[in-house]
Amino acid sequence: MKTFKSWHALINKRNTLYELGKIGFKMKQLPFMGVICIVMLFIVYRTTIYQYHKTEMEMKLYRFEMVKDYQQPSGKLRSLPRGIMQVRSDLEIRPLWMSSCSRQASVNMNKNLLAMPVGIMQKENVDNVVQKFLAANFTIILFHYDGNVDGWWDLDWGDKAIHVVAHNQTKWWFAKRFLHPNVVSIYDYIFLWDEDLGVDHFDPKRYLQIVKTAGLEISQPALDPDSTEIHHKITIRSRTKKLHRRVYELRGKTKCSKASEGPPCSGFVEGMAPVFTRSAWYCAWHLVQNDLVHGWGLDMKLGYCSQRNGASGFDLRTEIRRQSTWELEVFKERWNRAVEEDKNW
Protein backbone atom coordinates (compact mmCIF):
# COMPACT_ATOMS: atom_id res chain seq x y z
CA MET A 1 0.00 0.00 0.00
CA LYS A 2 2.86 2.30 0.76
CA THR A 3 4.41 1.67 -2.62
CA PHE A 4 1.08 2.28 -4.34
CA LYS A 5 0.71 5.59 -2.47
CA SER A 6 4.23 6.59 -3.51
CA TRP A 7 3.43 5.97 -7.16
CA HIS A 8 0.15 7.81 -6.80
CA ALA A 9 1.93 10.78 -5.21
CA LEU A 10 4.55 10.76 -7.99
CA ILE A 11 1.85 10.80 -10.69
CA ASN A 12 0.04 13.67 -8.94
CA LYS A 13 3.32 15.57 -8.71
CA ARG A 14 4.00 15.06 -12.44
CA ASN A 15 0.45 16.22 -13.30
CA THR A 16 0.93 19.27 -11.13
CA LEU A 17 4.24 20.09 -12.83
CA TYR A 18 2.59 19.60 -16.26
CA GLU A 19 -0.21 21.99 -15.36
CA LEU A 20 2.26 24.51 -14.04
CA GLY A 21 4.25 24.14 -17.24
CA LYS A 22 1.15 24.87 -19.31
CA ILE A 23 0.39 27.91 -17.23
CA GLY A 24 3.98 29.10 -17.55
CA PHE A 25 3.86 28.62 -21.31
CA LYS A 26 0.61 30.60 -21.52
CA MET A 27 2.12 33.33 -19.37
CA LYS A 28 5.11 33.48 -21.72
CA GLN A 29 2.71 33.75 -24.67
CA LEU A 30 0.89 36.76 -23.23
CA PRO A 31 3.74 39.31 -23.67
CA PHE A 32 4.44 37.91 -27.14
CA MET A 33 0.77 38.27 -28.15
CA GLY A 34 0.77 41.76 -26.68
CA VAL A 35 3.73 42.73 -28.90
CA ILE A 36 1.96 41.25 -31.94
CA CYS A 37 -1.20 43.25 -31.16
CA ILE A 38 0.81 46.47 -30.73
CA VAL A 39 2.62 45.89 -34.03
CA MET A 40 -0.69 45.21 -35.84
CA LEU A 41 -2.27 48.33 -34.35
CA PHE A 42 0.77 50.37 -35.42
CA ILE A 43 0.57 49.01 -38.98
CA VAL A 44 -3.17 49.79 -39.16
CA TYR A 45 -2.52 53.29 -37.78
CA ARG A 46 0.26 54.02 -40.28
CA THR A 47 -1.77 52.62 -43.17
CA THR A 48 -4.69 54.85 -42.21
CA ILE A 49 -2.43 57.91 -42.03
CA TYR A 50 -0.89 57.06 -45.41
CA GLN A 51 -4.31 56.62 -47.02
CA TYR A 52 -5.43 59.91 -45.51
CA HIS A 53 -2.47 61.81 -46.97
CA LYS A 54 -2.88 60.06 -50.33
CA THR A 55 -6.60 60.91 -50.46
CA GLU A 56 -5.83 64.49 -49.48
CA MET A 57 -3.38 64.85 -52.38
CA GLU A 58 -5.83 63.25 -54.82
CA MET A 59 -8.54 65.66 -53.70
CA LYS A 60 -6.19 68.56 -54.45
CA LEU A 61 -5.12 67.18 -57.80
CA TYR A 62 -8.53 65.88 -58.96
CA ARG A 63 -11.02 67.67 -56.78
CA PHE A 64 -13.70 67.82 -59.49
CA GLU A 65 -14.12 64.13 -60.23
CA MET A 66 -13.54 63.09 -56.60
CA VAL A 67 -16.56 65.07 -55.41
CA LYS A 68 -19.17 64.96 -58.07
CA ASP A 69 -19.73 61.23 -58.36
CA TYR A 70 -20.75 60.77 -54.74
CA GLN A 71 -23.52 63.32 -54.43
CA GLN A 72 -26.89 62.07 -53.29
CA PRO A 73 -29.27 61.69 -56.24
CA SER A 74 -32.08 64.22 -56.50
CA GLY A 75 -35.71 63.18 -56.15
CA LYS A 76 -36.08 62.77 -59.92
CA LEU A 77 -33.25 60.21 -59.98
CA ARG A 78 -34.16 58.13 -56.95
CA SER A 79 -36.22 55.80 -59.12
CA LEU A 80 -32.94 54.65 -60.75
CA PRO A 81 -30.47 52.28 -59.09
CA ARG A 82 -27.33 54.18 -58.11
CA GLY A 83 -25.02 51.85 -60.05
CA ILE A 84 -26.68 52.63 -63.41
CA MET A 85 -26.24 56.41 -63.18
CA GLN A 86 -23.35 58.08 -65.01
CA VAL A 87 -22.78 61.74 -64.25
CA ARG A 88 -20.05 62.22 -66.87
CA SER A 89 -19.67 61.94 -70.60
CA ASP A 90 -16.83 62.64 -73.04
CA LEU A 91 -16.11 63.78 -76.58
CA GLU A 92 -14.71 60.49 -77.88
CA ILE A 93 -16.15 59.27 -81.17
CA ARG A 94 -17.74 55.79 -80.95
CA PRO A 95 -18.29 53.38 -83.86
CA LEU A 96 -21.81 52.41 -84.84
CA TRP A 97 -20.85 48.74 -84.62
CA MET A 98 -17.90 46.64 -83.45
CA SER A 99 -16.73 43.08 -83.92
CA SER A 100 -17.11 40.67 -81.03
CA CYS A 101 -13.36 40.88 -80.35
CA SER A 102 -13.23 44.68 -80.30
CA ARG A 103 -16.20 44.82 -77.93
CA GLN A 104 -14.03 43.23 -75.28
CA ALA A 105 -11.31 45.83 -75.70
CA SER A 106 -11.56 49.18 -73.92
CA VAL A 107 -12.01 52.29 -76.04
CA ASN A 108 -8.81 54.29 -76.45
CA MET A 109 -9.33 57.52 -74.54
CA ASN A 110 -7.31 60.61 -75.38
CA LYS A 111 -6.29 62.47 -72.26
CA ASN A 112 -6.24 66.05 -73.59
CA LEU A 113 -8.62 68.22 -75.61
CA LEU A 114 -8.17 70.95 -78.20
CA ALA A 115 -11.23 73.14 -78.82
CA MET A 116 -11.18 75.90 -81.45
CA PRO A 117 -13.68 78.23 -83.16
CA VAL A 118 -12.93 78.03 -86.89
CA GLY A 119 -13.91 79.59 -90.19
CA ILE A 120 -13.07 78.35 -93.67
CA MET A 121 -10.82 81.38 -94.29
CA GLN A 122 -8.36 80.02 -91.69
CA LYS A 123 -8.44 76.46 -93.03
CA GLU A 124 -4.73 76.22 -93.81
CA ASN A 125 -3.60 77.41 -90.38
CA VAL A 126 -6.18 75.25 -88.57
CA ASP A 127 -4.93 72.26 -90.55
CA ASN A 128 -1.38 72.88 -89.28
CA VAL A 129 -2.60 73.19 -85.68
CA VAL A 130 -4.82 70.11 -85.75
CA GLN A 131 -2.17 67.89 -87.30
CA LYS A 132 0.26 68.75 -84.51
CA PHE A 133 -2.28 68.04 -81.80
CA LEU A 134 -3.54 64.81 -83.35
CA ALA A 135 0.04 63.56 -83.43
CA ALA A 136 0.10 64.20 -79.67
CA ASN A 137 -3.10 62.11 -79.16
CA PHE A 138 -5.48 65.01 -78.54
CA THR A 139 -9.23 64.91 -79.05
CA ILE A 140 -10.28 67.71 -81.42
CA ILE A 141 -13.54 69.66 -81.40
CA LEU A 142 -14.09 72.48 -83.90
CA PHE A 143 -16.75 75.17 -83.54
CA HIS A 144 -17.80 76.39 -87.01
CA TYR A 145 -19.00 79.95 -86.62
CA ASP A 146 -19.44 80.48 -90.38
CA GLY A 147 -21.64 77.43 -90.94
CA ASN A 148 -19.24 75.88 -93.45
CA VAL A 149 -18.52 72.28 -92.44
CA ASP A 150 -18.43 70.66 -95.89
CA GLY A 151 -15.24 72.54 -96.74
CA TRP A 152 -13.29 70.52 -94.17
CA TRP A 153 -14.06 66.96 -95.25
CA ASP A 154 -11.23 66.84 -97.80
CA LEU A 155 -8.67 66.94 -94.99
CA ASP A 156 -7.31 63.59 -93.79
CA TRP A 157 -8.44 64.24 -90.24
CA GLY A 158 -11.85 65.71 -91.13
CA ASP A 159 -13.84 62.74 -89.86
CA LYS A 160 -11.63 62.34 -86.77
CA ALA A 161 -12.68 65.69 -85.31
CA ILE A 162 -16.01 66.68 -83.79
CA HIS A 163 -17.75 69.49 -85.68
CA VAL A 164 -20.28 71.82 -84.06
CA VAL A 165 -22.05 74.47 -86.14
CA ALA A 166 -23.72 77.70 -85.03
CA HIS A 167 -23.72 80.81 -87.23
CA ASN A 168 -21.95 83.93 -85.96
CA GLN A 169 -21.21 82.69 -82.45
CA THR A 170 -18.07 83.25 -80.40
CA LYS A 171 -15.57 80.93 -78.73
CA TRP A 172 -17.00 81.55 -75.27
CA TRP A 173 -20.58 80.99 -76.49
CA PHE A 174 -19.55 77.58 -77.81
CA ALA A 175 -17.48 76.75 -74.73
CA LYS A 176 -20.29 77.54 -72.33
CA ARG A 177 -22.72 75.27 -74.19
CA PHE A 178 -20.57 72.39 -75.41
CA LEU A 179 -17.69 72.09 -72.93
CA HIS A 180 -19.63 71.47 -69.73
CA PRO A 181 -17.28 70.16 -66.99
CA ASN A 182 -19.16 66.84 -66.83
CA VAL A 183 -18.47 66.33 -70.54
CA VAL A 184 -14.75 67.16 -70.48
CA SER A 185 -13.87 65.70 -67.08
CA ILE A 186 -11.86 62.80 -68.56
CA TYR A 187 -9.35 65.22 -70.10
CA ASP A 188 -6.32 66.32 -68.09
CA TYR A 189 -5.91 69.55 -70.07
CA ILE A 190 -8.30 71.63 -72.17
CA PHE A 191 -6.76 73.92 -74.82
CA LEU A 192 -9.29 76.61 -75.78
CA TRP A 193 -7.52 78.38 -78.61
CA ASP A 194 -8.21 80.93 -81.32
CA GLU A 195 -7.86 79.73 -84.90
CA ASP A 196 -5.05 82.06 -86.04
CA LEU A 197 -2.24 80.95 -83.73
CA GLY A 198 1.01 79.90 -85.34
CA VAL A 199 2.45 76.56 -84.23
CA ASP A 200 5.59 76.24 -86.34
CA HIS A 201 7.77 76.13 -83.21
CA PHE A 202 5.23 74.64 -80.83
CA ASP A 203 5.30 71.08 -79.47
CA PRO A 204 2.17 70.09 -77.46
CA LYS A 205 3.92 67.25 -75.62
CA ARG A 206 6.88 69.42 -74.62
CA TYR A 207 4.51 72.17 -73.50
CA LEU A 208 2.56 69.79 -71.27
CA GLN A 209 5.79 68.53 -69.70
CA ILE A 210 6.69 72.09 -68.68
CA VAL A 211 3.19 72.85 -67.41
CA LYS A 212 2.98 69.65 -65.35
CA THR A 213 6.44 70.14 -63.86
CA ALA A 214 5.59 73.70 -62.84
CA GLY A 215 2.17 72.71 -61.51
CA LEU A 216 0.36 75.36 -63.58
CA GLU A 217 -3.44 75.13 -63.59
CA ILE A 218 -4.00 77.90 -66.16
CA SER A 219 -1.34 78.80 -68.68
CA GLN A 220 -0.65 79.81 -72.27
CA PRO A 221 2.21 79.42 -74.73
CA ALA A 222 4.37 82.53 -74.83
CA LEU A 223 4.28 84.65 -77.99
CA ASP A 224 7.18 85.32 -80.32
CA PRO A 225 8.76 88.71 -79.50
CA ASP A 226 8.35 89.69 -83.17
CA SER A 227 4.62 88.92 -83.20
CA THR A 228 2.32 91.74 -84.28
CA GLU A 229 -0.49 90.62 -81.94
CA ILE A 230 1.09 91.43 -78.57
CA HIS A 231 -1.21 93.26 -76.18
CA HIS A 232 0.54 92.60 -72.86
CA LYS A 233 4.27 92.22 -72.25
CA ILE A 234 3.76 89.27 -69.91
CA THR A 235 2.69 87.13 -72.89
CA ILE A 236 6.05 87.55 -74.70
CA ARG A 237 8.39 84.56 -74.66
CA SER A 238 11.40 84.95 -72.39
CA ARG A 239 14.76 84.29 -74.01
CA THR A 240 16.30 82.96 -70.78
CA LYS A 241 13.47 81.07 -69.02
CA LYS A 242 11.17 78.18 -69.82
CA LEU A 243 8.28 80.01 -68.18
CA HIS A 244 7.53 83.16 -66.22
CA ARG A 245 4.69 84.21 -63.93
CA ARG A 246 5.21 87.95 -63.84
CA VAL A 247 6.83 90.80 -65.78
CA TYR A 248 8.50 94.10 -64.91
CA GLU A 249 7.76 97.15 -67.07
CA LEU A 250 8.22 100.75 -65.98
CA ARG A 251 7.40 102.33 -69.33
CA GLY A 252 4.11 102.86 -71.06
CA LYS A 253 0.58 103.13 -69.68
CA THR A 254 0.70 99.92 -67.60
CA LYS A 255 3.63 99.95 -65.17
CA CYS A 256 4.67 96.68 -63.54
CA SER A 257 7.04 96.73 -60.56
CA LYS A 258 7.88 94.36 -57.72
CA ALA A 259 4.93 95.79 -55.84
CA SER A 260 2.50 95.04 -58.69
CA GLU A 261 0.01 92.28 -57.98
CA GLY A 262 -2.42 90.67 -60.40
CA PRO A 263 -3.06 91.04 -64.14
CA PRO A 264 -1.55 92.05 -66.43
CA CYS A 265 1.70 92.19 -64.43
CA SER A 266 1.46 88.76 -62.81
CA GLY A 267 -0.78 85.72 -62.93
CA PHE A 268 -2.21 86.69 -66.33
CA VAL A 269 -3.25 84.46 -69.23
CA GLU A 270 -4.68 86.05 -72.36
CA GLY A 271 -8.05 84.88 -73.66
CA MET A 272 -6.79 83.88 -77.10
CA ALA A 273 -4.83 80.78 -76.03
CA PRO A 274 -5.66 79.61 -72.50
CA VAL A 275 -4.85 76.09 -71.33
CA PHE A 276 -6.78 74.72 -68.34
CA THR A 277 -6.45 71.72 -66.10
CA ARG A 278 -9.78 69.96 -65.63
CA SER A 279 -10.23 71.42 -62.14
CA ALA A 280 -9.38 74.94 -63.34
CA TRP A 281 -11.84 74.56 -66.22
CA TYR A 282 -14.54 73.47 -63.78
CA CYS A 283 -14.11 76.86 -62.12
CA ALA A 284 -13.64 78.83 -65.37
CA TRP A 285 -16.79 77.35 -66.97
CA HIS A 286 -18.82 78.72 -64.07
CA LEU A 287 -17.07 82.08 -64.49
CA VAL A 288 -18.06 82.36 -68.18
CA GLN A 289 -21.28 84.36 -68.37
CA ASN A 290 -24.02 82.77 -70.43
CA ASP A 291 -25.18 86.02 -72.07
CA LEU A 292 -21.83 87.88 -72.32
CA VAL A 293 -20.55 86.02 -75.34
CA HIS A 294 -17.42 88.04 -76.19
CA GLY A 295 -15.69 87.27 -72.90
CA TRP A 296 -14.07 90.68 -72.54
CA GLY A 297 -12.48 91.09 -69.13
CA LEU A 298 -12.69 87.35 -68.47
CA ASP A 299 -8.93 86.88 -68.73
CA MET A 300 -8.43 89.42 -65.95
CA LYS A 301 -10.37 87.15 -63.56
CA LEU A 302 -9.16 83.71 -64.62
CA GLY A 303 -6.48 83.80 -61.94
CA TYR A 304 -9.13 83.17 -59.30
CA CYS A 305 -9.66 79.72 -60.86
CA SER A 306 -6.04 78.71 -60.31
CA GLN A 307 -6.23 79.35 -56.57
CA ARG A 308 -7.18 76.97 -53.77
CA ASN A 309 -9.13 78.32 -50.82
CA GLY A 310 -7.76 81.79 -51.50
CA ALA A 311 -4.16 80.61 -51.42
CA SER A 312 -1.61 80.68 -54.19
CA GLY A 313 -1.84 78.20 -57.08
CA PHE A 314 -1.38 74.52 -56.28
CA ASP A 315 2.21 73.37 -56.76
CA LEU A 316 2.71 69.62 -57.17
CA ARG A 317 6.36 69.93 -56.16
CA THR A 318 5.33 71.44 -52.82
CA GLU A 319 2.99 68.54 -52.16
CA ILE A 320 5.72 66.05 -53.06
CA ARG A 321 8.09 67.77 -50.62
CA ARG A 322 5.45 67.54 -47.90
CA GLN A 323 4.96 63.84 -48.59
CA SER A 324 8.73 63.29 -48.57
CA THR A 325 9.08 65.14 -45.25
CA TRP A 326 6.35 63.00 -43.72
CA GLU A 327 8.03 59.80 -44.98
CA LEU A 328 11.33 60.98 -43.47
CA GLU A 329 9.68 61.35 -40.06
CA VAL A 330 8.19 57.86 -40.37
CA PHE A 331 11.62 56.44 -41.24
CA LYS A 332 13.20 58.15 -38.23
CA GLU A 333 10.52 56.75 -35.93
CA ARG A 334 11.05 53.24 -37.30
CA TRP A 335 14.84 53.52 -36.94
CA ASN A 336 14.65 54.74 -33.35
CA ARG A 337 12.17 52.02 -32.45
CA ALA A 338 14.35 49.34 -34.06
CA VAL A 339 17.44 50.54 -32.15
CA GLU A 340 15.51 50.55 -28.88
CA GLU A 341 14.07 47.09 -29.39
CA ASP A 342 17.27 45.39 -30.57
CA LYS A 343 19.23 44.96 -27.32
CA ASN A 344 22.07 43.16 -29.08
CA TRP A 345 22.74 45.84 -31.69
pLDDT tens digit sequence for 77-121: 777 777 777 777 888 877 777 666 655 555 556 689 999 999 999
3-state class (DSSP) for residue 116: strand
Which domains does the chain carry? 112-221+273-305 (3.90.550.10), 223-268 (no CATH)
**Residue 80 pLDDT:** 76
- The mean predicted confidence, pLDDT, of the chain is 75
Q: Which long-range contacts (CB under 8 A, 24 or more apart) does 289-298 make?
A: 290/176, 292/172, 293/169, 293/170, 293/172, 293/173, 294/170, 294/172, 295/170, 295/171, 295/172, 295/271, 298/172, 298/271
C-alpha–C-alpha distance, residues 75 and 96, integer Å = 34
Per-residue pLDDT at 63 exceeds 60: no
Mean pLDDT of 131-150: 94
**Residue 84 pLDDT:** 77
pLDDT in tens, 195-250: 988 888 889 999 899 888 888 898 888 766 566 666 665 556 666 666 666 666 76
C-alpha–C-alpha distance, residues 196 and 141, integer Å = 16
pLDDT in tens, 159-185: 999 999 999 999 999 999 999 999 999
Regarding pTM above 0.85, the answer is no
